Amino acid sequence: MRLRGRHNPTVRTIVTTVATRWRRALLGALAAAVVTLAPALPAQAHDSSTLPDAPYYRSTVTSITPVISGLTITMDKAGESITLVNNTGSVVEVPGYSGEPYLRFTSAGVEENTNSLSAFLNGSLVIEGLPQQMGAPQKPPAWRHVADLPSFTWHDHRIHWMSQQRPPVVAADPGHPHTVFDWTLPLTVGGAPVVVSGVLRWIGEPAFSGLQGSLYVVGGTLLVLVAWVVWLRVRRGLRAKAGEPVSA
């Protein structure tokens, strides 16, 4: 004779415990898969506010010649922005891409020449036609106060990769580190020339990234859904054995 669940609390407790644990585990796995999938899928579209493949580039300063006390230069990892702090007690000037006056650091803060080619080009991280634009006639400087302190952060296309396409050496072997190029940034401190040197490197793309990684996440999500269906059937089977009414 089959015992019904209401006469066998031990069986009913086991069924409830197993079902609850299965449900919590599967819901947790499903939630984790969805959270992982959400940012993975749109990663293929390039955001105009950042560099393509930005996480895989590293731009670093290797030397400042001559060494100037009070001059500090830092940048973010990919070289999307550079920050100069002038505590030298002298005027620091940063020429633009064609040698035109661009930035001027004084004790009163920072000024930008809004008529410079660099001010025009630095509004976008990806630019085209730079050689042609560098040949355009330069207007007289128009200085605009942009900072009250002798510190300023700006985009500088001399220190990062500017194209939507990967460098040839990277495109041929994206999984391993490469030196993309060495770069220099000229300055003057108190009228004397100073050269900031650095290097842009590709650190290597992970084996599972981009579309490939997204496909793996989609596959994992589908497996979780299949496991959910299996759990529903197991729950029905346990309830049937316990003599409880079977529902969805």
Q: How far is the C-alpha of 125 from the C-alpha of 155, rounded, in Å?
A: 7
Strand partners, 202: 57, 178
Asked if residue 194 and residue 72 are part of one domain, the reply reads: yes
Asked if residue 74 and residue 34 are part of one domain, the reply reads: no
Asked if residue 186 and residue 71 are part of one domain, the reply reads: yes
- How many CB atoms are located within 10 Å of the residue 6 CB? 10
Asked if residue 89 and residue 36 are part of one domain, the reply reads: no
Domain extent for 184: 54-202
CA torsion 116-118-122-125 (nearest 10°) is 150
Asked if residue 76 and residue 174 are part of one domain, the reply reads: yes
Is residue 247 in a domain?
no
Asked if residue 30 and residue 134 are part of one domain, the reply reads: no
Asked if residue 130 and residue 13 are part of one domain, the reply reads: no
Is residue 248 in a domain?
no
Is residue 138 in a domain?
yes
Q: Measured on CA atoms in the order 222, 228, 233, 238, is the torsion positive or negative?
A: positive
Asked if residue 125 and residue 15 are part of one domain, the reply reads: no
Is residue 49 in a domain?
no
The tally of domains found in the chain comes to 2
Give pLDDT, residue 5: 46
Is residue 25 in a domain?
yes
pLDDT along the chain (248 residues), means of 10: 51 59 60 49 42 87 97 89 96 95 96 92 63 62 96 93 89 96 97 97 78 53 64 65 59
Asked if residue 136 and residue 16 are part of one domain, the reply reads: no
Asked if residue 174 and residue 98 are part of one domain, the reply reads: yes
Q: How far is the C-alpha of 40 from the C-alpha of 37, rounded, in Å?
A: 5
Is residue 180 in a domain?
yes
What are the residues whose beta carbons fall under 8 Å from the beta carbon of 199, sequence distance 6 or more? 59, 60, 62, 179, 181, 182, 183
Give pLDDT, residue 54: 87
Give pLDDT, residue 42: 38
pTM, entire model = 0.62
Asked if residue 189 and residue 111 are part of one domain, the reply reads: yes
Give pLDDT, residue 164: 81
Asked if residue 232 and residue 184 are part of one domain, the reply reads: no
